Amino acid sequence: MIYRHFNAPSRAFTQFSHEIIRHPRLSSDAVRLLTWQLSLPQGARESLSRTAERARIGACSFGRAKRQLKEEGFVHERRVQVGGGRWVTQQLVSSTPLSAEQAAKLLAREPVAAPQDTPGPRKPAVGARAVDAPVTPTPDRHPKKDSEEDTSHLPAEAEPSPRLEDARALIGALPLLSPALRHIPPGMREELARLATRWLDAGHALTDVREHVLRGLPGAGTSVQRPGGLVRYLLRDVPPRVIPRPASGISSRLAGTRECAGEHVQTTLFRPVGDETHCTRCA
């Protein structure tokens, strides 16, 4: 038998529907990510990736949790370009599942704040939280001003990764991949290298990172005013690595067969009972 003892909190609590806590298709990380976001104070602008860091949800688990929340309609995203050529991801977190049309209407009501602007008072819809996630990972709020220099926002590493040099070479070669990446500021290359290092440490190959960056570039003829910021945005989240299944050299139907050592016009396979080297016909 099981007994439960519960004292209702008198302060610092949030009401959640049982449909969230007991959702059959959401993992524990997805439920934790959603409830953490919904428990933030009114007007909080914390992105999902920042919440995952604070909740100690790893990169792979965060990717799966976010994908589940998007599939179930609790999270919606869209990318918009703001002043100065910067890209912003609008994230909508809802306490109830929303369709794409419903989410689009709610996001249309939210003013898109440029990364250098201080957000003003917000009045989000009941049960929903809109978050403008800037290209640059930030702490709990937007920076009050945008410095002319691009600075790193990554936490300091106690010991550099052994893949850091490979990542630096990769970032240095990006201008050769596309004309849109020719003007990445030299001062950003070290930060971008550290972002790329996280991909390599997670098991991704150099070609995986290059292809991901190329897929994220706008179409031909579209200019990119801040290529460094775009690359930083593309490398910010590390997806889980998909390990391909090893291809077998022989089909399962032919497993256990052996080539006959006798004289045949064509190669002849047989299934030996012991250590015999000739098929029944040759024997």
Residue 210 CA to residue 230 CA, distance in Å, equals 14
Q: What is the pLDDT of residues 144-174, one digit of tens each?
A: 433 333 444 444 444 678 888 898 998 988 8
Residue 117 CA to residue 3 CA, distance in Å, equals 52
Residue 268 CA to residue 283 CA, distance in Å, equals 13
**Residues 210-233, mean pLDDT to the nearest whole number:** 83
Strand partners, 81: 87
**Could you write out the DSSP letters of every residue in 144-199?**
SS--SS----SPPPSS--TTHHHHHHHHHHHHHH-GGGTT--GGGHHHHHHHHHHH
The model carries a pTM of: 0.42
Q: What is the pLDDT of residues 198-211, one digit of tens each?
A: 999 888 888 888 88
Q: In the structure, what pLDDT confidence band is assigned to residue 29 with cuts at 50, 70 and 90?
A: very high
Strand partners, 33: none
